[in-house]
């Protein structure tokens, strides 16, 4: 963790901050050696295999994005997007019943 990433989370809209912090905790629990840094105005997470996910906060939702999303097995159909490789999950509120699926996607992403 760095001052830049801490500042990003502190500056997040109050309605999103709790969910973003929860996602951050999940990412770092699945990949405790991940490097967390702000790139392109958002927290990005990488390991020795490269960047595997990022967080983004927009006005109406927040996003957990996956660099190699098309390579992930997604039995719960959580992933959205049509790009060549990236996929994401949008959240308007908390994770709810999707949390176990999110954790599994994070595990896969960190291992690619």
Structure confidence by residue, pLDDT tens digits, 20-32: 999 999 999 999 9
Its pTM surpasses 0.85: yes
pLDDT at 89: 98
Per-residue pLDDT, 3:
78
Task: Kindly report the three-state secondary structure assignment for every residue of the chain.
Answer: CCHHHHHHHHHCCHHHHHHHHHHHHHHHHHCCCCEEEEECCEEEEEECCEEEEEEEECCCCEEEEECCHHHCCCCCCCCECCCCCCEEEEECCCCHHHHHHHHHHHHHHHHC
In order of start, what are the domains of the chain with their CATH numbers? 3-95 (3.90.1150.200)
Mean predicted confidence (pLDDT) in 31-55? 96
62-108 per-position pLDDT tens digit:
999 999 999 999 999 999 999 999 999 999 888 889 999 999 999 99
Record the tokens describing residue 56, joined without a space.
Answer: 């983004």
Residue 31: per-residue pLDDT:
97
């Amino acid at each position: 963790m760095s001052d830049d990433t801490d500042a990003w989370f502190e500056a997040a809209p109050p309605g999103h901050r709790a969910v973003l912090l929860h996602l951050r905790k999940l990412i770092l629990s699945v990949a405790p050696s991940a490097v967390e840094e702000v790139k392109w105005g958002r927290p990005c997470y990488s390991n020795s295999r490269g960047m595997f996910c990022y967080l983004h906060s927009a006005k109406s939702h927040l996003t957990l994005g996956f660099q190699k999303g098309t390579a992930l097995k997604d039995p719960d159909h959580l992933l959205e997007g049509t790009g060549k490789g990236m996929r994401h999950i949008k959240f308007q509120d908390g994770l709810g019943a999707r949390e176990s699926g999110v954790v599994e996607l994070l595990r896969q992403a960190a291992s690619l």
